[in-house]
Chains A and B, each alone.
Chain A
Amino acid sequence: MNTIPLEHYLFVAAALFCIGLAISITKRHFIGILLGIELMLNSVNINLIAFSRHDPERLSGQLFALFVIVVAAAEVTVALAIILRVYGHYKSVDPDEVKELKN
């Protein structure tokens, strides 16, 4: 059991994090940006859980990951409510078109 080295978990997490970052940068849609953020939060949880393998008595990493999941759930509900309000006001989900405060 547990023959996978720690670094492989970290590499998978790093790859998912960077793909999530690229999604957040490239998508011109509020919900696309949210998808990228969710992916990044998940990849961080992989790191925490991979390190938590070596802490079976206290499992601090897994508890931290649990709280990250809770905060992510709270974040996505509020973000979606805000996106719906912005869509109702601007009739657009493109972040580039929401620029009333610019200039």
Chain B
Amino acid sequence: MEAVAFYSFSVLAIVSALFILFSKNLIYGAFALFLAFLGVAALYVLAGADFLAVTQIMVYVGGILVLLIFGIMLTQKVVRQSEQEIHNKVEVLTSRGVAGFLIGSGMFLFLGYIIIDARFKMQGEVINTNSTIRTIGVELMTSHLLPFEIAAILLLVALVGAAYLALNRNPA
């Protein structure tokens, strides 16, 4: 049962990722990314990371994807050159496509070779508790307190910087 869920969600994530790669319309790509993120969140649940799965859905699907779709809509061409032009069309040069295919498949072969060759010896127990929230909360507030605070400051700086860049249309 678990194996069926794992492989079906993996196929969902990979097929949606391939759809982004081959779709010409960027909005369709963004919605396929939504499916890919959901598949990845399901993989997190199967690996015993329930809190991260919920965080993934809230942050990526609720925040980042909406921002990306806003970005696509705000960068529309107002004037279309021709009536037949497809909405949000992304051209792919043949040379770029060949380079992407070669680099992507080469990278996959390389990583696959490393994974097969590695023979990880895992120590310790596999996760068997129902929830990881307690451990994550305790760890965040004790041994990972400094990165937690730095992440807070990073988010504040990113918020101020993004608002400045996007609002102030004429800084000069």
Contacts and interface: CB of A to CB of B under 8 A. Distances in A.
For A22, A36, A53, A70, the residue with the greatest tally of chain B CB atoms inside 10 Å of its CB is: A22
A54 B97 contact: no
Interface in B91-116: 91-93, 96-97, 99-101, 103-105, 107-108, 111-112, 115-116
Q: Sorted from nearest, which 9 A-B pairs have the closest CB atoms?
A: A22-B104, A74-B158, A81-B165, A25-B100, A26-B100, A14-B111, A18-B108, A22-B100, A19-B17
B43 A32 contact: no
Interface of B: 2-3, 6, 10, 13-14, 17-18, 20-21, 26, 29-30, 33, 36-37, 40, 43-44, 46-49, 51-52, 55-56, 59-60, 63-64, 67-68, 70-72, 74-75, 90-93, 96-97, 99-101, 103-105, 107-108, 111-112, 115-116, 120, 122-129, 132, 135-136, 139-140, 143-144, 147, 151, 154-155, 157-159, 161-166, 169
Contacts of A9: 43, 47
A45 B49 CA distance: 11
Contacts of A75: 158
A23 B74 CA distance: 21
Given A19-B20, A49-B47, A78-B161, 19 more contacts: A4-B2, A4-B6, A4-B46, A6-B122, A11-B112, A12-B10, A14-B108, A19-B18, A22-B21, A27-B26, A28-B93, A38-B64, A39-B20, A54-B122, A56-B127, A63-B144, A66-B140, A69-B55, A80-B166
Interface string A15-49: 11111111101111111101110110011011001
Given A15-B14, A25-B100, A42-B37, A31 B26 contact: yes
B33 A25 contact: no
A19 B21 contact: yes
B109 to A, nearest CB: 9
Interface residues of A, number: 72
Interface of A: 1-4, 6-12, 14-23, 25-32, 34-36, 38-39, 42-43, 45-46, 49-50, 52-59, 62-63, 65-67, 69-78, 80-85, 87-88, 93
A69 B165 contact: no
For B3, B13, B155, the residue with the greatest tally of chain A CB atoms inside 10 Å of its CB is: B13
